[in-house]
């Protein structure tokens, strides 16, 4: 950028997230602003953040990006020895360069009491520049000398004298700084300086000057020095005020970045792929399919603009609890079928498929939407049913092409009501711990013949998944639209397939009502 033709631009960043945003916006390089880093840490721009703390921040910035970073190194954090150690540590972290200013340590921000700020001795600072250049091991590392003479009121002649001394000391470029609201003295400096070294400018104060003026004058780099930090500050203040005043997120949530965008910038997708590559599969079943297309009208206002699966319980959506339960059992390839308000289903670590006909179809239509995922062992569950790890573990450990988990002691309120009742070959007893209990039928009403309530969990072997995929392929139109997973289980039984039963007592929660939402807060 310093040696090439034309004018280049550096955008300020103050942490890994803002650095990545600057790179994605198209900037060729990043300015690691001392002011912004200090502000983000909640301290003054007076070297109150130690150089090692700044180094830690800029390391995160370098890790998050691929474009070069020029760090605002203040005065070099001490004498020549501090400066050369700083260069060594920056090179180790992949930082492309450092800019040091000719003021005394500890420094004060240039726009605060500027004319009262003493400057460093020219020869002492030149020695610091020379030490920094001799300390570098990467030929491409850049040391920029920042001249503060104009800011401090010492005039053009002193600014030129200092710039020349720093050029002779080995600086790769000169940053000439000004606090004036017009670019006259900057342009005068460039005219008298000529092309002895590339010039870098920071037009924070003279921002109304057209950029083409800088381009035509022959400057090499323009630094936009603190605008990501300042824009974030304005947005955070507005959000905090609104939330405090209104005691609700309504009116704010739609104006802020969705969590999915935060997770994207953090690289969550890469981690998801890495987990699939490096983590153990956790046995023969590595995939979970969650049917979460329905709205859940019974929850009223809670589902006005989101599906039931995204209703929060104990601080996070129902769906996140479900996915966490799968992960805890090492089922890590997770597929979620969305429908109502699908854009609101933005949890991380899952692949999404959509049932756009959710309003006129049911459970099997949602499963059919994920038919391509029925290509190996898997577990199918609902997006409104919480379950504990031990229930899932029992299901995963039981052999069979089709295995269901049945609660032999369902909640009091459901014993006589409508539910997915299971009629099994044997009731739950000590004898059935070792017996091969099979599903005989499914019922919608409680009766003496039922053995318990189906929990909504169905495990399929590879051949079981293939059989279900074939069944789904035979269903069309109204038959598919109206069919439920219990209907699928009935068909499997009618066809003479063994559907094994694993009995449990509790350990799951079907979130149907507001009362269930409250129960969920203590479910963990």
Active site residues: 45
Q: Alpha-carbon dihedral of residues 433, 436, 437, 439, nearest 10 degrees? A: 150
Is residue 159 helix, strand or coil? helix
Could you tell me the two tokens for 298?
């019974």
Do residues 263 and 70 touch, judged by C-beta distance below 8 A?
Answer: no
Please give the Cα distance from 265 to 272 (Å, whole number): 14
The 3 state secondary structure assigned to 263-288 is HHHCCHHHHHHHHHHHCCCCCCCCEE
Nearest Cα neighbor of 508 from 387, 399, 424 is: 387
Which residue, 163, 39, 34, is CA-closest to 107? Answer: 34
Cis (ω within 30 of 0) for the bond into 106? yes
Question: Smallest Cα–Cα separation from 208: which of 179, 182, 243, 239?
Answer: 182
DSSP 210: -
Nearest to 56 by CA among 75, 84, 32: 32
Nearest to 335 by CA among 300, 368, 302: 368
Unique residue bearing structure tokens 């109502």: 340
């Amino acid at each position: 950028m310093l040696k090439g033709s034309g004018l280049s631009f550096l955008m300020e960043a103050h942490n890994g997230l803002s650095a990545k945003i600057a790179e994605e916006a198209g900037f060729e390089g990043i300015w690691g602003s001392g002011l912004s880093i200090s502000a983000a840490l909640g301290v003054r721009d007076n070297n109150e953040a130690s150089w090692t703390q700044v180094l830690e921040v800029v390391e995160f910035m370098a890790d998050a990006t691929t474009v070069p970073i020029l760090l605002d190194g203040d005065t070099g954090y001490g004498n020549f020895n501090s400066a050369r150690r700083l260069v060594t540590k920056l090179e180790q972290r992949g930082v492309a360069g450092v800019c040091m200013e000719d003021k005394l340590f500890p420094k004060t921000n240039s726009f605060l009491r500027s004319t009262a700020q003493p400057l460093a001795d020219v020869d002492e600072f030149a020695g610091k520049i020379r030490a920094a250049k001799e300390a570098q091991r990467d030929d491409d590392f850049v040391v920029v000398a920042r001249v503060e003479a104009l800011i401090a009121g010492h005039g053009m002649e002193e600014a030129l004298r200092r710039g020349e001394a720093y050029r002779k000391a080995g600086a790769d470029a000169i940053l000439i700084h000004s606090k004036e609201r017009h670019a006259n003295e900057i342009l005068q400096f460039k005219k008298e300086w000529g092309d002895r070294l590339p010039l870098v400018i920071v037009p924070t104060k003279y921002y109304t000057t057209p950029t083409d003026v800088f381009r035509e004058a022959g400057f090499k780099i323009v630094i936009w020095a603190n605008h990501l930090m300042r824009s974030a500050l304005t947005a955070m203040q507005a959000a905090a005020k609104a939330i405090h005043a209104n005691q609700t997120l309504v009116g704010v949530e739609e104006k802020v970045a969705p969590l999915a965008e935060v997770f994207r910038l953090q690289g969550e997708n890469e981690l998801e792929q890495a987990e699939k590559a490096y983590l153990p599969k956790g046995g023969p079943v590595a995939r979970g399919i969650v049917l979460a297309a329905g709205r859940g009208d019974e929850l009223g206002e809670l589902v006005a603009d989101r599906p039931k699966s995204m209703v929060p319980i104990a601080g996070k959506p129902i769906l996140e609890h479900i996915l966490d339960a799968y992960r805890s059992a090492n089922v890590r390839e997770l597929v979620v079928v969305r429908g109502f308000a699908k854009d609101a289903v933005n949890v991380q670590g899952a692949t999404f498929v959509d049932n756009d006909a959710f309003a006129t179809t049911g459970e099997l239509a949602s499963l059919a939407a994920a038919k391509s995922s029925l290509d190996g062992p898997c577990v199918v569950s609902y997006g409104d049913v919480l379950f504990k790890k031990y229930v899932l573990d029992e299901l995963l450990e039981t052999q069979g092409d089709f295995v269901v988990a049945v609660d032999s002691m369902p909640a009091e309120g459901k014993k006589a009501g409508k539910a997915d009742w299971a009629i099994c070959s044997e009731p739950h007893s000590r004898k059935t711990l070792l017996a091969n209990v099979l599903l005989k039928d499914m019922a919608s009403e409680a009766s003496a013949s039922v053995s318990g309530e189906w929990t909504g969990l169905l495990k399929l072997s590879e051949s079981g998944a293939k059989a279900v995929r074939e069944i789904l392929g035979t269903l069309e139109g109204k038959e598919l639209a109206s069919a439920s997973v219990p209907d699928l289980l009935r068909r499997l039984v009618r066809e003479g397939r063994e559907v094994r039963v694993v009995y449990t007592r509790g350990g799951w929660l079907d979130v149907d009502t507001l009362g269930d939402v409250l129960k969920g807060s203590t479910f963990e």
